[in-house]
Amino acid sequence: MASEKQRSLLLESTSRFPIPPGVRFSYGTAGFRSDGLILGSTVFRAGVLAALRSIKTGHAIGLMITASHNPIFDNGVKIADPDGGMLTQKWEPFADALANAPDPQHLLDLVVQFAEEENIPLCGTQSAEVLLGRDTRPTGESLLETAKQGINAIIGAVAVDMGILTTPQLHWIVRSRNKGTKASEFDYYAQLSKSFRCLIDLIPENIVKSEVDPKVLVDGANGVGGEKLEELKKMLKGLDIEVRNSGKKGGVLNDGVGADYVQKEKVAPSSFGSIDMGLRCASLDGDADRLVYFHVLSASDNSIDLIDGDKILSLFAVFIKEQLSILNRNENDDVFNSLPARLGIVQTAYANGASTDYLKQMGLEVVFTPTGVKYLHKKAAEYDIGIYFEANGHGTIIFSEEFLSLLHARSDELSVSMAGSERHKAAVRLLAVSQLINQAVGDALSGLLLVEAVLSYMGWSIVRWSQLYADLPSRQLKVKVADRNAVVTANAETEVVQPVGLQKLIDTETAKYPRGRCFIRPSGTEDIVRVYAEASTQEAADRLANSVMQLVYQFLDFTNSHV
All residues at 6 or more sequence positions from 293 whose CB lies less than 8 Å from its CB, including other chains: 280, 281, 282, 283, 306, 307, 311, 312, 451, 462, 465
> CA neighbours within 13 Å on the CB side: how many for 263?
24
Closest CA to 352 of 507, 468, 512: 468
Q: Are residues 369 and 436 in the same domain?
A: yes
Residues 495 and 403 in one domain: no
Do 32 and 105 belong together in one domain? yes
Which residues are designated catalytic? 68
Q: Is 287 annotated as a binding residue?
A: yes
Q: Give me the percent of the chain exceeding a pLDDT of 90.
A: 85
Q: What share of the chain is helix, strand, coil (3-state, %, to 5)?
A: 45, 20, 35
Per-residue pLDDT band at 214 (split at 50, 70, 90) = confident
The greatest distance separating any two alpha carbons of the chain, rounded to the nearest whole angstrom, comes to 75
Same domain for 372 and 452, yes or no, is yes
CATH number of the domain at 229, please.
3.40.120.10
Structure confidence at residue 331 (pLDDT) = 62
Whether residue 316 is found in the same domain as residue 300: no
Task: Judge whether 391 is annotated as a binding position.
Answer: yes
Q: How far apart are CA 375 and CA 313, in angstroms?
A: 17
Q: What is the DSSP string of 17-69?
A: SPPPTT-----BTTBEEEEGGG-HHHHHHHHHHHHHHHHHHTS-EEEEE--TT
Same domain, 22 and 139: yes
Instruction: Give the pLDDT confidence of 501-525 residue by residue, as tens digits.
Output: 999 999 999 999 999 999 999 987 6
197 in a labelled binding site: no
Q: Which amino acid is at 225?
A: G
Range of the domain at 141: 4-164
* HSE toward the beta carbon, residue 327, CA cutoff 13 A: 25
Query: Do 36 and 129 fall into the same domain?
Result: yes
Number of domains making up the chain: 4
Asked whether the beta carbons of 553 and 479 are under 8 A apart, the reply is yes
Chain segment 66-90, per-residue pLDDT in tens: 999 999 999 999 999 999 999 999 9
Q: Confirm whether residue 443 is marked as ligand binding.
A: no
From the list 96, 116, 112, the residue with the least C-alpha distance to 154 is 112
For residue 293, give Cα distances in angstroms to 269, 290, 357, 436: 12, 11, 21, 19
Final residue of a domain: which of 164, 184, 200? 164
Positions of E strands within 100-239? 128-134, 157-164, 215-219
Crossing angle of helices 140-152 and 40-57, in 10° steps, is 50
Q: Where does the pLDDT of residue 562 fall: very low under 50, low under 70, confident under 90, or very high at 90 and above?
A: very low
240-244/157-164 β-pairing: unpaired
Spatial distance between the Cα atoms of 166 and 468, rounded to a whole number of angstroms: 31
Averaged pLDDT for residues 172-201: 97
- Whether 181 is covered by a domain: the verdict is no
Residue 185 lies in a domain: no
**Which pLDDT score is estimated for 561?**
39
Q: Is 289 annotated as a binding residue?
A: yes
Does any domain span residue 179?
Answer: no
Rounded distance, CA 246 to CA 266, Å?
A: 21
